[in-house]
């Protein structure tokens, strides 16, 4: 078998090209518009019920309680996401299946806990039964339902809840199909809004968030930038005087072992310039005689820096905006702390090579 034949058998098949169908594209746009309108309508109707719900959850979290979220079917899946978001934001939370609760999981609920019960109709038997039982035990109930219309009576779930947050969706996205779409999207948005509002009340920070997300790219982006440094001032990053010659500076840095991709030039303890590998290449090609002159004459003055209090995501943004391969990290007094190399971010998969 020839090499060409072997390659043709192992090469991935090219994905077929599909002609756009204008009617289908417009339908998809319509679905997205329907879902966006559902969320906009909730925003327009936000009232004191949301404040009351936030107060209940905040008090629960402050007392060491747990926010237990329960729903059936699609509402159960949405509830699990809401619970997960709360946990990410420092609010202890678990999802509870309403049927399982009736078969032993009621033991998860304590007096200082809160139940968030999801049912679009407000009439889901299992969810209503759970809420009614918890109400008898004095556990606060936050209901998220469609909400009563102008001519409707409150649902059974609304009647046992301490506070009800109305989704308000009467028609799902996409026209005639009744699959939960706009209603589930809107319910999830309410859960996000509650979680974020309570986190804001509790002064939850990105640093707190990072502690709960140590893995993956998200956790990496929330690391303090100083934790990424391979080259640190006073350790393996010599600081150069502006009067030192380029040649002497390079010899001095070579003694430390692995050479950084740039030299930091310091005067009176403050960073005044940077001399990069790119600067060195241009100097050698254009005017090698200046290698014996002071580095202050060929350095880049007033280089862009990043604060030692910054996060990795700030460094990623700086690299992308300015296309620098090295960025000095300085303290609040302008004193160099280290040198952040783009390879420090690539090795952690925070940016692509």
Model pLDDT for residues 243-300, shown as the tens digit of each residue:
999 999 888 888 776 778 888 999 999 999 999 888 898 888 988 888 999 999 999 8
Residue ranges of alpha helices (H) inside 161-298 are 182-201, 206-211, 216-221, 246-254, 277-286
Higher pLDDT, 152 or 53: 53
pLDDT band at 55 (very low <50, low <70, confident <90, very high): very high
Judge whether residue 217 has pLDDT over 70. no
DSSP state of 350: S
- Residue span(s) of the chain under CATH 3.40.50.10490 come to 23-204
Question: Are the CB atoms for 53 and 82 separated by under 8 Å?
Answer: no
Higher pLDDT, 3 or 80: 80
Q: Which of 22-31, 292-301, 343-352 has the lowest mean pLDDT?
A: 343-352
pLDDT band at 1 (very low <50, low <70, confident <90, very high): very low
pLDDT band at 6 (very low <50, low <70, confident <90, very high): very low
Higher pLDDT, 217 or 201: 201
Q: What is the DSSP string of 274-341?
A: EEEHHHHHHHHHH-GGGGGSBGGGTSEES---EETT-BHHHHHHHHHHH--SEEEEE-TTS-EEEEEE
Question: Are the CB atoms for 344 and 319 separated by under 8 Å?
Answer: no
Question: What pLDDT, on a 0 to 100 scale, did the predictor assign at position 174?
Answer: 86
- What order do you get walking across the sheet with 326-330 strand by strand? 231-232, 336-341, 326-330, 306-307
Q: What is the mean pLDDT of the chain?
A: 85
Return the CATH architecture of domain 225-346: Roll (3.10)
Scan for tokens 């040649």, then name that residue.
247
Q: Which two tokens stand for residue 350?
A: 């925070």
Q: Which two tokens stand for residue 82?
A: 């809401």
Judge whether residue 331 has pLDDT over 60. yes
DSSP, collapsed to helix, strand or coil, labels residue 251 as helix
Question: What pLDDT, on a 0 to 100 scale, did the predictor assign at position 321?
Answer: 74
* Nearest one of 241, 253, 344 to 296, comparing CA atoms: 241
State the fold for domain 23-204.
Answer: Rossmann fold (3.40.50)
pLDDT band at 2 (very low <50, low <70, confident <90, very high): very low
- Residue span(s) of the chain under CATH 3.10.580.10 come to 225-346
Higher pLDDT, 175 or 192: 192
Judge whether residue 145 has pLDDT over 80. yes
Question: What pLDDT, on a 0 to 100 scale, did the predictor assign at position 10?
Answer: 52
């Amino acid at each position: 078998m020839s090499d060409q034949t072997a390659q043709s058998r192992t090469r991935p098949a090219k994905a077929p090209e599909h002609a756009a169908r204008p009617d289908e594209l417009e339908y998809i746009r319509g679905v997205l518009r329907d879902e966006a309108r559902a969320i906009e309508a909730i925003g327009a109707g936000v009232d004191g019920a949301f404040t009351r719900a936030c107060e209940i959850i905040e008090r629960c979290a402050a007392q060491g309680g747990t926010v237990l979220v329960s729903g059936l079917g699609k509402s159960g899946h949405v509830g699990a996401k809401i619970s997960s978001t709360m946990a990410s934001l420092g609010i202890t939370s678990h999802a509870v299946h309403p049927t399982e609760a009736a078969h032993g999981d009621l033991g998860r609920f304590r007096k200082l806990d809160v139940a968030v019960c999801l049912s679009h109709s407000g009439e889901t038997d299992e969810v209503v039964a759970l809420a009614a039982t918890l109400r008898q035990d004095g556990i606060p109930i936050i209901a998220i339902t469609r909400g009563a219309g102008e001519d409707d009576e409150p649902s059974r779930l609304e009647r046992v809840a301490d506070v009800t947050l109305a989704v308000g969706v009467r028609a799902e996205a996409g026209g005639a199909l009744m699959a939960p779409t706009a209603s589930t999207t809107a319910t999830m948005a309410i859960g996000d809004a509650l979680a974020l509002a309570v986190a804001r009340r509790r002064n939850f920070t990105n640093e707190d968030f990072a502690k709960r997300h140590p893995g993956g790219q998200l956790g990496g982006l929330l690391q303090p930038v100083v934790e990424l440094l391979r080259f640190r001032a006073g350790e393996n990053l010599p600081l150069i005087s502006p009067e030192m010659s380029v040649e002497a500076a390079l010899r001095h840095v070579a003694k430390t072992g692995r050479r950084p991709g740039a030299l930091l030039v310091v005067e009176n303890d403050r960073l005044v310039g940077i001399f990069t590998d790119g600067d060195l290449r241009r100097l050698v090609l254009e005017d090698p005689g200046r290698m014996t002159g002071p580095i202050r004459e060929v350095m880049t003055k007033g280089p862009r820096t990043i604060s030692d209090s910054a996060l990795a995501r700030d460094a990623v943004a700086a690299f992308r905006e300015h296309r620098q391969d090295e960025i000095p990290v300085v303290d609040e007094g302008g004193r160099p702390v280290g040198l952040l190399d783009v390879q420090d971010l690539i090795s952690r998969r925070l940016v692509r090579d």
